């Protein structure tokens, strides 16, 4: 491949308004590396790895997808969720943290209107954190998922409702079997409308008296989201038995919590 041709294409993709922020950030890193005279092959290998979580599923925006296919030599990916130029600019991103991100992908990924679900890290202070760094709990990041969705098909209200069903909003020290600050329950809003919906939904949950402990899930403004290493992407597809076992454990703990709350309510009624 000709380096000058690649540079020109990178430049055009970076300026393309349809290119998403995640894509643009990685394309910019590649462009700067080539301008700094780094080896073309090494730069492209890194870029392919960075784009692979979405590229392997055909969920990059159209022009970036074409570029990805060109530099990988891969065949086009056929998928019902592929982003089209006509609606790419209308897509939105929802970011949720609620324990290990392995368990948060499938419940969203299998819903209509979902373009992609990316596991990653957000909310911290360390740039480009690794899984091992976040696992220790010293970077300030939480494990989270970034969900690109079509609001014409799937509403943010529905996504928040799913989030509440998957988490324990009363646990300030983690989620279920996942313990530590990196597993906190957080809704990260990306605009004012999401902020209002998340706060209203949280207040409704508080007033429902569904739980016997305070609701501690945080609602925070979204900060930089760092996609996790490729190993963690689509984990439920790679290791379905492992994820199902984790899901069963979470479900059992949720059931025990509901039984405990119901028992306390019954005791109050008998008094």
Decide if pLDDT at 263 tops 60.
Answer: yes
More confident residue, 257 or 124: 124
> What are the pLDDT digits (tens) for 66-77?
889 889 886 443
> What are the pLDDT digits (tens) for 39-60?
999 999 999 989 988 887 777 8
pLDDT of residue 78: 37
Decide if pLDDT at 233 tops 70.
Answer: yes
Average pLDDT over the chain, rounded to an integer: 86
Q: What is the mean pLDDT of residues 143-152?
A: 92
More confident residue, 85 or 133: 133
Decide if pLDDT at 85 tops 50.
Answer: no
Separation CA 220–CA 265 (nearest Å): 32
Report for 15-24, 139-148, 238-247: range of highest mean pLDDT? 139-148
Burial of 36 (0-12, 13-18, 19+ CB in 10 A): exposed
**Region of residue 124 (phi > 0: left; psi between -120 and 50: alpha; otherwise: beta):** beta
Separation CA 147–CA 206 (nearest Å): 25
Which one of 34, 71, 100, 134 is the catalytic residue?
Answer: 100
96-110, 125-139, 150-164, 244-258: range with lowest mean pLDDT: 244-258
- Domains along the chain? 3-72 (no CATH), 91-263 (3.30.1060.10)
**Region of residue 250 (phi > 0: left; psi between -120 and 50: alpha; otherwise: beta):** alpha
Nearest to 162 by CA among 174, 145, 179: 145
Decide if pLDDT at 82 tops 50.
Answer: no
Catalytic annotation on 100? Answer: yes
How many secondary structure helices (H) and strands (E) does the chain include? 10, 8
Separation CA 249–CA 241 (nearest Å): 13
Query: Is residue 64 within 8 Å of 129, Cβ to Cβ?
Result: no
Q: Return the number of other C-beta atoms located less than 10 Å from residue 230's C-beta.
A: 13
Q: What whole-number percentage of the chain has pLDDT above 90?
A: 47
Query: Is residue 122 within 8 Å of 220, Cβ to Cβ?
Result: no
pLDDT of residue 86: 47
pLDDT of residue 251: 78
Strands in 31-176 per DSSP E: 92-98, 114-122, 142-149, 174-175
Q: If you ran DSSP here, which 8-state letter would residue 75 be given?
A: P
Decide if pLDDT at 189 tops 90.
Answer: yes
| Residue 135 dihedral angles phi and psi, to the nearest 5° | -60, -35
Radius of gyration of the chain (CA): 20
**Region of residue 152 (phi > 0: left; psi between -120 and 50: alpha; otherwise: beta):** alpha
More confident residue, 80 or 256: 256
14-18, 36-40, 166-170, 261-265: range with lowest mean pLDDT: 261-265
């Amino acid at each position: 491949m000709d380096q000058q041709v690649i540079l020109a294409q990178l430049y055009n993709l970076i300026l393309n308004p349809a290119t998403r922020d995640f894509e643009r950030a990685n394309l910019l890193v590649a462009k700067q590396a080539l301008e700094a005279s780094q080896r073309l092959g090494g730069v492209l290998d890194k870029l392919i790895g960075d784009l692979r979580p979405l590229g392997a599923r055909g969920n990059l925006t159209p022009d970036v997808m074409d570029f990805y296919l060109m530099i990988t030599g891969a065949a086009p990916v056929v998928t019902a969720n592929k982003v089209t130029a006509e609606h790419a600019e209308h897509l939105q991103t929802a970011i949720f943290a609620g324990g290990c991100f392995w368990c948060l992908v499938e419940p969203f990924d299998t819903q209509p209107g979902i373009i992609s679900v990316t596991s990653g890290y957000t909310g911290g202070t360390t740039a480009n954190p690794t899984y091992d760094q976040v696992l220790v709990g010293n970077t300030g990041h939480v494990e989270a998922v970034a969900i690109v969705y079509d609001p014409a098909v799937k509403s943010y209200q529905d996504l928040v409702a799913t989030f509440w069903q998957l988490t324990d909003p009363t646990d300030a020290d983690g989620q279920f079997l996942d313990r530590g600050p990196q597993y906190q329950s957080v809704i990260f809003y990306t605009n004012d409308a999401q902020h209002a919906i998340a706060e209203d939904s949280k207040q409704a949950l508080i007033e429902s008296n569904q739980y016997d402990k305070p609701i501690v899930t945080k609602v925070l403004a979204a900060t930089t989201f760092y996609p996790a290493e490729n190993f963690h992407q689509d984990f439920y597809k790679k290791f379905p038995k492992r994820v199902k076992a984790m899901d069963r454990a979470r479900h059992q703990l949720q059931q025990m919590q509901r039984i405990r709350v119901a028992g306390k309510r019954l005791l109050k009624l008998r008094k």
